[in-house]
Amino acid sequence: MQRLLRILAVLGCLVMLALGAEDFYKLLGLKKDASDREIKKAYRSLSKKYHPDKNPGDESAHDKFVAVAEAYEVLIDDETRKIYDQYGHEGIEQHKKGGRPSQHHDPFDLFSRFFGGSGHFGHGGSERRGPNMEVRVAVPLRDFYNGRMTEFTVEKQAICSACEGSGSEDGHVETCDVCGGRGIVIKRQQLAPGLFQQVQAGCDKCAGRGKVIKKPCPVCGGSRVVREPETHELHVEKGMPKGVRINYENEADESPDYVAGDLIVHLVETEPALGQADHERTDGTFFRRRGKDLFWREVLSLREAWLGDWTRNLTHLDGHIVQLSRKRGEVVQPHAVQVVENEGMPIWHQHLPDGVEEAYGNLHVEYVVVLPDQMEKPMEKEFWAVWEKYRKKKGVVLDKENGRPEGPIQFPGHDEL
């Protein structure tokens, strides 16, 4: 009876352990029929996201980094993946106890196989660092106003996931027998009869790598790297200035020989254009931005500019209405500018004064008056009669008012030399 209780207790502990461990497929965000390429892509993304160097002092990120590495090691191997699919975490534990540990027990060693370097994000002088890569990403003014989480894709050089950067199909790499692994050879050149010079040159057999591959990887052809698209999340914050630089650490071109540099994104504004969706066809789509202020031109007819009694509803970038209006008898001069306070761009949180959580610039509305290009004859007669009546009462001749002469002015002549 006691033996049975002990067995049940052990089984209970194993069940609790299995329940407490997160499902490897769920951890990597994959379905159970995921391909090797999808597994490697998920690891590449999550290992960079949770790397301890990017999350200093965050124990949960460190644990996630280790767990992601463990999940990858299990799922990328056909034998351990089959065991996991059938028996779960308990089966993997039993497999390890049977003397068959996973190949890459160190998560940092696994990381270095994918991204080069020592397994850490290097920013010091101890490791060779690749060049930074700069790209321009254009988003509409609407995203600068409202803020948005979106994605962008860049094509970059990546370490070949098929051979994990070794360049070899079977993972076997040999030391070059010509240069002895140094990558360089000493050549003797004759300068003149009896006069020779020794110079260093790159080894032709191994192309200066010091290693040779007998079975090149069919994916990268032995070059160890491939060109492939990579998608990144882009967080456009409310009020971000145009041209702001967003830095993605160690997301530039990769190589097994160095730590990747940074990907620097320059955020710019797309040209306004009518889209298909309703929110892409609003007045705000054609606002113009200058710093924290927005600018708009509103067209008025002659009657509206002269007599007033009109209302306009502008649909802003987030859908709310800004109402413009004039009462009857209120005149609007051509090119007059009305400033509507707090209807401009939201001010970026990094530019807000201390203690202020939210603030906005102004909306500047310039009024353009359009005159009719033709009138019907009866209307023209009526307007003429009205203007003549008031011109005779209060009319002013501007030439006389400004002291301008009525005829040409005679200039004195000049004597010929």
pLDDT in tens, 354-394: 999 999 999 999 999 998 888 889 988 998 998 888 888 88
Mean pLDDT taken over the chain = 84
CA distances from 324 to 14, 83, 105, 239, 321 (A): 71, 70, 68, 24, 10
Residue 321's pLDDT band (cuts 50, 70, 90): very high
Residue 9's pLDDT is 44
Give the residue ranges of DSSP H helices in 21-137: 24-28, 36-49, 59-76, 78-97, 107-115
Instruction: In the chain, count H helices and then E strands.
Output: 10, 15
Residues 6+ apart with CB under 8 A from 198: 186, 187, 188, 189
Q: What does the buried/exposed string (b/e) look like for 207-233 if buried means 16 or more CB atoms within 10 Å of the residue's CB?
A: eebbbbbeeebeebebebbbeeebebe
Q: Which amino acid is at 54?
A: K
Between 95-104, 174-183, 286-295, 387-396, the lowest mean confidence (pLDDT) is in 95-104
Q: What does the buried/exposed string (b/e) look like for 27-43 if buried means 16 or more CB atoms within 10 Å of the residue's CB?
A: bbebeeebeeeebbbbb
All structural domains of the chain, each given as residue ranges with its CATH number in brackets, are: 2-115 (1.10.287.110), 133-269 (2.10.230.10), 278-370 (2.60.260.20)
211 membership: H or E segment, kind and range = strand 211-212
Between 111-120, 141-150, 276-285, the lowest mean confidence (pLDDT) is in 111-120
Q: Is 87 helix (H, G, I), strand (E, B) or coil?
A: helix
pLDDT(15) > 60: no
| % of residues, the chain, pLDDT over 70 | 88
Tokens representing 52?
A: 């301890």
Residues 6+ apart with CB under 8 A from 133: 154, 156, 251, 252, 253, 261, 262, 263, 264
pLDDT in tens, 219-263: 988 888 999 998 888 999 999 999 999 998 888 998 888 888 899
Separation CA 162–CA 169 (nearest Å): 8
Residue 274's pLDDT band (cuts 50, 70, 90): confident
Between 3-17, 96-110, 157-171, 322-336, the lowest mean confidence (pLDDT) is in 3-17
